[in-house]
Amino acid sequence: MQILPVAVWTARRDRHRRTISALIEPHLRRRGRGEAHPVIDFLFTYYSHRPAQLLRWHPGPGIRLIDAPEHARWRGYRHIDGGTELDPSFACHRRSAIEHIAALLAATAARPPQLSCFGLHEWAMVYRTEPVRHPGAELRLGRAGTDRVVESMQLRCTHFDAFRFFTAAAEPRNATALTRAGQVAAEQPGCLHATMDLYKHCYKLSPLIDSALTAACFELAYAARELDMRASPYQLTELGYPPIPIETAAGRAEYVRAQAELTRRAAPLRAALHQRCTALLRLADRADSTDGASATHR
C-alpha cells in the first residue's frame, strides 16, 4: 500500500484536471450555448461518462490518500487507518465486467491489425436512406455519390457497435454479419472504434482504473474520433476537419497511414489496461479469500 500525503495526491489531481479541462472546455462552452458539434459531441453522448465524472481524479488500487474526505464519499472507496483507499470488495462486485473487458482486450491484442476498412462504416450508416446521422452536416458527395462509394468497395467492418448502425441495405454488404455475442471473436486492433472504446472500458470500471490511464485513453479517443469523421461522407471543413477522400486511392492511403499510427498508439494503452484488469482480478480473489476466512472464523 502506497500512502500519499495531501500535497502529493492533490498535485496529481490538479494535473489531471488541467489535462482534461483543456480537452473538454470547448465542448462545455458549446453546450452552454446550446450548440451541437457533429464530431466532438459523440465523446459525450455515445459515451456516457459525463464531463464532471471525467474530471474526477482516481488514484487506482494500492494507494491510500491522506485527508481525502471527498473520495471517502464516492462509490467504491473506504476510510481505513486514517486514510481513504479503494475498497477491494468493489473489485469483487465488478468481477464479471472486469473479466469480460480483460477477455476482449486480450483477444483484440492477439490479432493482427486490419487496415482495409477505410472508415466506410460512417458511409454505411447513411447508405440508401434520406436522413443523415448528423443534422446540419451535408454529405460531401451528395446522396447518389455517397451510395456509389459504398457500392464501389467491400465493407469490412469488424466492430459490432458500428455495424449495428448500418442501414438495412448496407448490412448484407459487410464481409461478416457481426453480433454482440461474437464481439470477442471479431474485434481487432486496427479498428478505430476498438481504439476509442479503450476509454469506455476505463470509465466502465471507474473508480478501479487510475485516472492517468483513463485520461490517456480519452485523449486517444479524441484523436480517433477526428480521423473517423474526416474520413466520413460529411463536409466538415468549416469546422476545421478537412476531408480524407477515401473514394480516391490517395485518400485511402492517407487514411491507412493515420489508422496505423492510432493503432500503434493504442497498443501500449490496451496492454496497460489489460494489466490493470489482471491485477484487479487478483485483488478480487484476495478479497473473496479474506471474506471467506473471516466467515469461517465467525
Q: Average pLDDT of the chain?
A: 94
In the chain, pLDDT over 70 holds for what percent of residues?
97
Task: Please give the residue range of the domain that contains residue 176.
Answer: 89-297
Q: How many CA atoms lie within 13 A of 49 on its CB side?
A: 23
pLDDT value, residue 291:
65
pLDDT value, residue 297:
38
Q: pTM, whole model, 2 decimals?
A: 0.94
Over range 39-65, report the average pLDDT: 95
124-136 residue pLDDT tens: 999 999 877 877 7
* CA–CA distance, 114 with 187 (Å, rounded to integer): 10
- In the chain, the number of structural domains is 1
Q: Are 97 and 204 in contact (CB under 8 A)?
A: yes
pLDDT value, residue 294:
47
188 assigned to some structural domain = yes
Confidence of residue 296 (pLDDT cuts 50, 70, 90): very low
**Residue of higher predicted confidence among 292 and 192:** 192
Helix 249-297 × helix 192-204 angle, to 10°:
20
pLDDT over 60 at 109, yes or no: yes
* CA–CA distance, 160 with 165 (Å, rounded to integer): 9
pLDDT over 60 at 105, yes or no: yes
34 assigned to some structural domain = no
210 assigned to some structural domain = yes
Over range 173-202, report the average pLDDT: 97
53 assigned to some structural domain = no
49 assigned to some structural domain = no
80 assigned to some structural domain = no
247 assigned to some structural domain = yes
pLDDT over 80 at 97, yes or no: yes
260 assigned to some structural domain = yes
